[in-house]
């Protein structure tokens, strides 16, 4: 009989609109009802502040846990995933947020029962991640991204989304409409695949996974395990085209728009007028030259088979 694997659940007590006590009790009940006791033994830890998921994930790895499970929204999932990159630990996801971008793409059920059943099946995907940072720096300051990074309007909107009281698809759409009118497109130089091109762009998103979250798909052809990143260039478009562009974003057809071009590469340098960079919905300030690259097969993730 094989020894049981040890699972370390890291739960954000409040994600999306959930109430802390109800979320915690629901998780414990679901684990008792649905997690396979013949395969696993587990502990549950609850985050107490922003960044606590990173601390707990490091503790789990150091203590030799086999599987570390992120229970929460995209912020919690990204914190833990970045911590587990280039380790032997396996990550799993129980989505419990408002966006759930990676979980939706992987078809991990949004209900606790279905997500736990994916963990019971135990299929591991070796997925790519990416890094973004300054082209030249005396100190190592690259950050890991799981789904996407970018410059331009999406980086600008990442800072605005943090201020939203009502998150979710309609909250994001309203914010996009509100901010689009005043935003000015920039000019960017892209160096990749031994070529240099210049683009005037509303935004440039570098996608490892197809969607931002809430089924907003920025790069329908992006794959998590092909060793490549998609460069999604969205050109400025007239105001009358905005409803159609938003519709395409949510019906998986943004790549069919004449205002979008998608390239594919392993690494690239972006030089432009904006110093704001988004990574998985977070943002930071950089100099105007940004280096981005893919890290193939750097994260072990439990996912449904054939995703």
Instruction: Kindly state whether residues 226 and 287 are assigned to the same domain.
Output: yes
Q: Please give the chain's pLDDT, 307 residues, in tens.
A: 678 999 999 998 865 444 344 455 688 889 999 999 999 999 999 999 888 999 999 999 999 999 999 999 888 899 999 999 999 999 999 998 878 889 999 999 999 999 999 999 999 999 999 999 887 654 456 889 999 999 988 888 776 666 555 655 666 677 777 777 788 889 999 999 999 999 999 999 999 999 988 888 999 999 999 999 999 999 999 989 989 998 999 999 999 999 999 999 999 999 986 668 889 878 787 777 899 999 999 999 999 987 6
Say if residue 102 is in the same domain as residue 155: no
228 with 175, same domain? yes
What are the CA-CA distances from residue 21 to residues 18, 25, 46, 57 (Å)?
9, 6, 11, 22
Whether residue 85 sits in one domain with residue 54: yes
Q: Is residue 306 part of a domain?
A: no
Residue 203, domain CATH? 2.60.200.40
Q: Which domain holds residue 133?
A: 129-296
Instruction: State which H helix or E strand residue 180 sits in.
Output: helix 169-180
Q: Which of 99, 122, 145 represents a domain boundary (last residue)?
A: 122
H helix runs in 4-51, sequence order: 20-34
Please indicate, yes or no, if residue 23 is contained in any of the structural domains: yes
Which residues fall within 8 angstroms of residue 204, CB to CB, at 6 or more apart?
Answer: 150, 151, 152, 188, 190, 231, 232, 233, 234, 270, 272
226 within some domain: yes
Q: Work out how many domains the chain is built from and give that number.
A: 2
Residues 86 and 167 occupy one common structural domain: no
Query: Which of residues 65, 100, 122 is at a domain's end?
Result: 122
Query: What is the per-residue DSSP string for 89-141?
Result: -EEEEEE-SS--HHHHHHT--SSHHHHHHHHHH--EEEEEEEEEEESS-SS--
């Amino acid at each position: 009989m094989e020894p049981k694997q040890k699972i370390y659940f890291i739960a954000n007590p409040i994600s999306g609109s959930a109430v802390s006590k109800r979320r915690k009790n629901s998780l414990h009940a679901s684990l008792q009802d649905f997690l396979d006791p013949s395969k696993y033994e587990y502990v549950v830890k609850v985050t107490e502040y922003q960044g606590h998921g990173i601390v707990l994930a490091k503790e789990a790895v150091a203590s030799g846990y086999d599987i570390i499970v992120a229970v929460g929204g995209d912020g919690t999932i990204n914190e833990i995933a970045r911590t587990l990159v280039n380790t032997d630990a396996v990550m799993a996801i129980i989505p419990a947020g408002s966006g759930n971008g990676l979980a939706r793409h992987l078809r991990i059920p949004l209900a606790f029962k279905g997500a736990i059943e994916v963990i019971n099946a135990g299929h591991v995907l070796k997925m790519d991640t990416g890094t973004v940072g300054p082209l030249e720096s005396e100190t190592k300051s690259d950050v890991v991204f799981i789904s996407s990074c970018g410059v331009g309007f999406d980086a600008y909107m990442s800072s605005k989304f943090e201020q939203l009281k009502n998150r979710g698809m309609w909250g994001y759409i309203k914010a996009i409409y509100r901010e689009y009118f005043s935003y000015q497109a920039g000019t960017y130089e892209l160096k990749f695949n031994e070529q240099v091109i210049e683009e005037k762009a509303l935004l440039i998103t570098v996608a490892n996974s197809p969607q931002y979250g809430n089924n907003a798909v920025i790069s329908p052809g992006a794959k998590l395990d092909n060793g490549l990143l998609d460069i999604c260039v969205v050109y400025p478009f007239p105001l009358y085209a905005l409803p159609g562009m938003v519709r395409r974003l949510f019906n998986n057809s943004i790549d069919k728009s004449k205002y979008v071009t998608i390239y594919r590469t392993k690494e690239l340098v972006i030089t432009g007028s904006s110093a704001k960079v988004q990574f998985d919905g977070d943002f930071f300030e950089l100099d105007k030259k940004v280096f981005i690259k893919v890290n193939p097969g750097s994260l072990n993730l439990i996912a449904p088979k054939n995703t």
